Chains A and B, each alone.
Chain A
Amino acid sequence: MDIIKKIYEGFVISDGGFGTMLQAEGLKAGELPETLNITRPELITDIHCRYLEAGAQIISTNTFGANSLKYAGDGESSLENIVKAALSCAKAARAKSGKDAAIALDLGPTGKLLQPLGPLGFEEAVEVFAQTVRCGAANGADFILIETMTNSLELKAAVLAAKENCDLPVVASFMLDQNSKLMTGADIPAVIAMLEGLRVDALGINCGLGPDKMLGMIEEIYSLTSLPVCVCPNAGLPQMVDGKTVFNVGPEQFAEQSVLLAKAGARMLGGCCGTTPAHIKALSTAIAELHPQPIIKKDYTVISSYTHAVYFDAKPVLIGERLNPTGKPKLKEALKTGNIAYILEEAVRQQENGAMVLDVNAGVPEIDEAATMAEIIPRLQSVTDLPLQIDTGNLGAMERAMRLYHGKPMINSVCGKAESIKGVLPLVAKYGGVVVALTLDENGIPNSAAERIAIAERIIAAAREYGIEEKDIIFDPLTLTVSSEAESANITLDALTMLKTAGRKSSLGVSNISFGLPNREILNSAFFTMAMDRGLNAAIMNPMSVEMMKAYHAFCALRNLDAQCSEYIGFASALNVESAALPLKKQQQETAADTLAGAISRGLKEKAEAFTGTMLADGKLPAQIIDEEIIPALNEVGEGFEKQKIFLPQLLSSAEAAKAAFEIIKEHLPQKTDESGKRIVLATVKGDIHDIGKNIVKVLLENYGFEIIDLGRDVEPEAVLCCVKANAVRLVGLSSLMTTTLPAMAETVKLLKAECPECKVMVGGAVLNAEYAVRITADCYGKDAMEAVRFAQSILGE
């Protein structure tokens, strides 16, 4: 059966719960259900037959957990045998029934969490699914049914595995919680954007909830997707009321509620946990006379992160430009030296300042761009939930980034050159994304708006050949500086008007307009307003620029794109908060902080930054500021902490205020000399993922001038040793929160003592004590961050 054709023709009934049936037949807790394909094939075949008799047109193989992680052996219960036997049972049932049913190769989650939340690598996950897919396709599955997915990255891995290893249609179904979100946080628009980008054939939801709870979700899915919608609810949820068990939606009620789901747009309907052939029979009867809702193509231009989608529409989208090393020496240096923390900080700051998407470019000549992208994309997605714009001309880097990206990315960029079209568009077709199309070609950038639009037309035509719809292209009519080309702003603005008139989406790198001119923000913000007024849908800009944000919020308020001007009010009110307006109590607190030292003691970061800037401007030397203000303040706070006059949060506030002051001072200090003598390696030991404590120690140590090599969390003993040797480090700090990871700490200390006996080791963490530290031959047990500082000072000197 051509299942997709069938779905486009009308309703298709899927089967119900399989585990439920197996449990009713006596499947024991802990027993792997898929082994029954081999040990009791007649039972599996019989369950399929009962669903077929009940009216199911789709039967799903008993392979929900059939993957190489659970079936790693080569024997009788090898993955291949399990999947083959599953298909054979399904085929036997179909033959016995004499019906034209479709057999779905059922793929459930791997059972392991994917990185960065868990241990399973993305490519590893793809390969786990790929093995099951290859086996299922070779043994006669009609389509791939990916179901009950709770992590959209794992869902992406499964879809890619299916697409890369067979030609069968793919139906992707995910499990939502009562807040309409996946376990990893994605909302419905985000998942749909990603799945449509990956070109699945149908999508929907199953498990987790009963049919009544799914109604609103199906309505939302139907309103957003251009694809057929599937739904397989549970037979309600078991609950306890007044000490009695109240659970299960019976077949009739299930059917009644499923009719509502069908009316809301679902076409492929079945059941999940708790449902039985009786439910499917009732469902099949109930929808027999219904007509399905039409499948309507949607015209949204949308990208997504792992949590939410961003739509390109009337309200301009702000794309933060700060992660592009062009003209940013600090970022360039961070990319070269692998200073990921700097990159992550830039990302978070842009988000805090109002960016909605972040442009990411790792194009520094001396580095391996593809490897860098592969490292920073997942790291960025672990600190920011904004969608990313993958910005590179390196196709290898682009593909690595698109593959690993959790969501549907924005791609910057393709242009009218044949080589660019041939390289970039197949990637967009495979991984999904909204691609920025630059209106230039082999002849350069045309001097008229009309010629730029002509290039846009050629790119649209080329994209169509790759199956990429126009809605997935955003055009950049290019900004050239007015200092060298007097007409450039006019040309660009006219091109924007033409794009808007033709119903196309646009994006611009706004700041280019002012290259070579003084006080660039004046021109940038004015041009930004003009461009937005011509219909600009997205701007690559600096969200830290107050002038640009003023232009944006004013535009949105004036053009009725900001309901009740609420965003404008929030933004504008925060701009000029005079101290007179502060509550009295706050004023009293702040008067205590009228020096840099006072600001640090009181943990007032912004004030500390302001004082530092003023003192430097007044000609005070960096060393003077450190010695006369920062160090005394830190000492005062440190002593207060040791005497338990102040507590951890205050210590941390002061440390972060001091750090902010240092960051400003650093820019005025001469180039660093070799400070390897003050270098400390910090790590949370293998198996442990808690790092708050380690990060607190880090910030304090940095305050006192130590250079920290932070190896992060879950660090192998060998990695610590390797780093110590490579950097001639004399002190290591190890952290562990769990009793279960203490052996890993002992192992790390043992290895360091054996290989680098001159290197001292300090340990800390909630479950540690001085006695244990002695037992594992650590040199110091730091009960808190200040003790770590004191020990470091005693070993490495002031």
Chain B
Amino acid sequence: MSLFIYQKPAAELDAPLKETLRYMGFRGNAEEKDEQAALKAMQTVKEGSNPIAVYTLNGIKRTNKCELDLGFGSFYSEDLSKYLKKAEAAVCFAATIGMHTDMLVKRYAEISPLQSLYYSSAGTNLIEAFCDGFCEDIAESMRERGLKPRGRFSPGYGDFALDCQLDLLKMLDAQKRAGIYLNENLLMTPVKSVTAVVALEKIV
């Protein structure tokens, strides 16, 4: 099994302003000053971020009805089994934009929760944009093989247990390759990190 690294400079990511505003809690009513503040936060977050993903491309072993093995040990999940029903293979990945946003959020946590929220929302927007870009590039590279990806499915969705992250991150050597740590409560550091499975289905 090979591990692959995927990187893209933060500046090249398409993270629209409206998404940051949506994560902030605006419902289409942001004023110019709010938009300016969000743009500034996004710029600061982008400047210090280093988006990186580590991933594998695996076959899917269905050992029992809803018991799966994607290369990091077998586990039971009805919802993930359903998601992978038509899949020929799966990409397992861990992605992060790095520690910079965590630091910014913490810097303002006690001084200005509003500013903290701006950075946090900008960071969420950026990691989502990075994951979207990653999945688009996977789609591109899989087209020749006649495969197309479905929308990603993360531990914590449905009955895909959060504690699967432990073995998933271990398989991906994510601590060394991407600087992603998991604590005993299954929280990832950096906070703006994502783990997920992407089903690859035959193009019909």
Q: Which residues of A contact B (CB under 8 A)?
A: 29-30, 111-113, 116-119, 148, 150, 177-179, 181, 183-185, 207, 237-243, 245, 247, 341, 344-345, 348, 382-385, 583, 585-586, 589, 644, 646-650, 652-653, 655-656, 687-692, 695-696, 698-699, 710, 738-741, 744
Contacts and interface: CB of A to CB of B under 8 A. Distances in A.
Given A184-B99, A649-B25, A740-B185, A696 B170 contact: no
B48 A29 contact: no
Nearest to A736: B185
Given A589-B31, A740-B187, A113 B24 contact: no
15 contacts: A117-B189, A119-B183, A178-B50, A183-B179, A348-B108, A583-B32, A585-B32, A589-B31, A647-B25, A649-B24, A649-B114, A649-B118, A652-B113, A687-B187, A692-B120
Contacts of B187: 687-689, 738, 740
Contacts of B94: none
Interface in B120-148: 120, 141-142, 144-145
A738 B102 CA distance: 17
A648 B24 contact: yes
Given A652-B113, A689-B183, 15 more contacts: A29-B171, A119-B183, A185-B100, A238-B3, A239-B5, A242-B144, A341-B110, A383-B111, A585-B32, A648-B25, A649-B34, A652-B117, A690-B191, A695-B110, A699-B113
Interface string B43-87: 000001010100001000000000000000000000000000000
Contact of A118 (B7, B30, B111, B181): B181
A772 B4 CA distance: 42
Contact of B48 (A183, A185, A243, A348): A185
B113 A247 contact: no
B47 to A, nearest CB: 10
Contacts of A179: 50
A544 to B, nearest CB: 15
Contacts of B29: 646-647, 650
A644 B32 CA distance: 20
Nearest to A348: B111
A238 B2 contact: yes
Contacts of B30: 649
B17 interface: no
B107 interface: yes
A647 B26 contact: yes
Contacts of A242: 141, 144
A698 B109 CA distance: 11
Nearest to B28: A647
B71 to A, nearest CB: 9
Contacts of A177: 50, 52, 98, 179
Contacts of B179: 150, 177, 183
Most buried by B among A240, A687, A698: A240
A240 B7 CA distance: 12
A698 B111 CA distance: 11
B40 interface: no
Given A179-B50, A696-B113, A589 B33 contact: yes
Most buried by B among A183, A241, A385, A655: A183
A209 to B, nearest CB: 10
B102 A117 contact: yes
Contacts of A241: 141
A647 B30 CA distance: 9
A243 B141 contact: yes
Contacts of B34: 649-650
Contacts of A237: 5
B139 to A, nearest CB: 11
Contacts of B7: 178
A111 B179 CA distance: 10
Contact of B111 (A30, A238, A344, A650): A344
A183 B99 contact: yes
Contacts of B183: 113, 118-119, 687, 689
A116 B3 CA distance: 30
A646 B6 CA distance: 40
Contacts of B118: 649
Contact of A586 (B24, B33, B103, B185): B33
Interface in B160-188: 162, 170-171, 175-176, 179, 181, 183-187
B154 interface: no
Contacts of B105: 692
A551 B25 CA distance: 42
A107 to B, nearest CB: 15
Contact of A384 (B32, B107, B110, B170): B107
Given A118-B189, A646-B29, A740-B186, A692 B117 contact: yes
Contacts of B109: 691-692, 695
A181 B162 CA distance: 30
A137 to B, nearest CB: 26
Nearest to B115: A656
Contacts of B176: 148, 207
Interface in B9-43: 24-27, 29-34
B111 A117 contact: no
B170 A30 contact: yes
A247 B102 CA distance: 32
Contacts of A118: 181, 183, 189
A385 B47 CA distance: 15
B116 interface: yes
Given A241-B141, A382-B106, A648-B24, A345 B2 contact: no
Contacts of B189: 113, 117-118, 689
Contact of A648 (B117, B142, B184): B117
Contacts of B5: 237-239
B112 to A, nearest CB: 6
A382 B107 CA distance: 6
A736 to B, nearest CB: 10
Contacts of A741: 185
A127 B168 CA distance: 30
